[in-house]
Amino acid sequence: MVLTGVEIGQYNHSGVNLEGLLEHILAETQVTRLRLSSLQPDEISPELIELWRDRRLCRHFHLSLQSGSDGVLNRMRRRYSVSDYQRVVSLARSLVPEAAITTDIMVGFPGETDKEFEESYEFCRQMGFARIHVFAYSPRPGTLAAQMPQPVTANIKKERSQRMLALAQESAQNFHRQFLGQTMPVLWEKQTGGVWSGLTDNYIRVSTRSSKDLTNRLLTVRLVGIGEDGVWGDVVE
C-alpha cells in the first residue's frame, strides 16, 4: 500500500493526523508493506519516525528539497532551510538505518547564480541521496516566479541539469552498491521482455529473469550486481 496525495504530512481527519492514521493502519490491518509518498521536511518529527520500528513501514523517505541553496529556497518561499533539511535527514537515518532518502531538485530557478547552483550541487553530493529527480525550471503564467527578474538561460539550465543528472546517477549507484551481497525481500511488480522488476522496502529497483509468475509476490532475493536503473538479483529458493 502507498499513501499518497498533496501534502500528506498535513493530513487531519476528525482529529487524526498522519501519525495517527499510520498507527490505525498498522494496528488494524494485515498490510505487508506500507510506503509513504512525498513529505515536507517540516512534517517530520521523532514521534512520526518512531513508527518505523514496525518493519512493515518501508524504509524510504521522499523529502522534496528543490534546492540546496538557502538563497534559492527563500525566493521559492519554502518553509525550511538547508540546515533544517539536513537535520531531518540525520534524524531519519539515525532512527531508520539503511533508509533510502530520495528527493526532487530544480535547477535554473529565476535568479539562480553559479554560486547558488554550486551550493545546491555540493549539498546533494554530501547528502548521498538514493535517488534524485532532476528537473529544470519552466515558467507558469500567473505565478510569482514567472515575474521574477534574472531568468536563467536555456543553455545554462541544460548544462546544470546534465551535471545534476550525472550526480544523481553516481549517488544512486553508491547507495545501491552498499547492499550488494545482501539478501532482501523484494515485492515483484511487472515483467518486461522476460525480466521481472520489483522493489526492496528501501526503494532499490531490482531486476531478475524468471519463467515463473512473480506478480505481487514478496520473495527473498540476493542482490548480485549493479544494473542500469538499480541492481540485479537472484531469487533465493
Instruction: Name the residue with cell 547564480.
Output: 113
Banded pLDDT at 49 (limits 50, 70, 90): very high
Looking from the CA of 84 toward its CB, the CA atoms found within 13 Å total 17
Grid coordinates representing 75? Answer: 525566493
- Domain extents in the chain: 2-177, 183-235
Which amino acid is residue 147, in one-letter code? Q
In CATH, the architecture of 2-177 is Alpha-Beta Horseshoe (3.80)
For domain 183-235, give its CATH number from 2.40.50, 1.10.3470, 3.40.50, 2.60.40: 2.40.50
Question: What pLDDT does 228 receive?
Answer: 84
Contact predicate 226/177, CB 8 Å:
yes
> At residue 35, does pLDDT exceed 90?
yes
Beta strands in the chain (DSSP E): 2-3, 12-13, 16-17, 35-36, 38-39, 60-63, 100-107, 131-136, 183-192, 195-199, 205-209, 218-227, 230-235
pLDDT band, residue 140 (cuts 50/70/90): confident
Q: Over the stretch 168-214, which tens digit does the pLDDT of each residue have?
A: 999 999 999 999 999 999 999 999 988 999 999 999 999 999 999 99
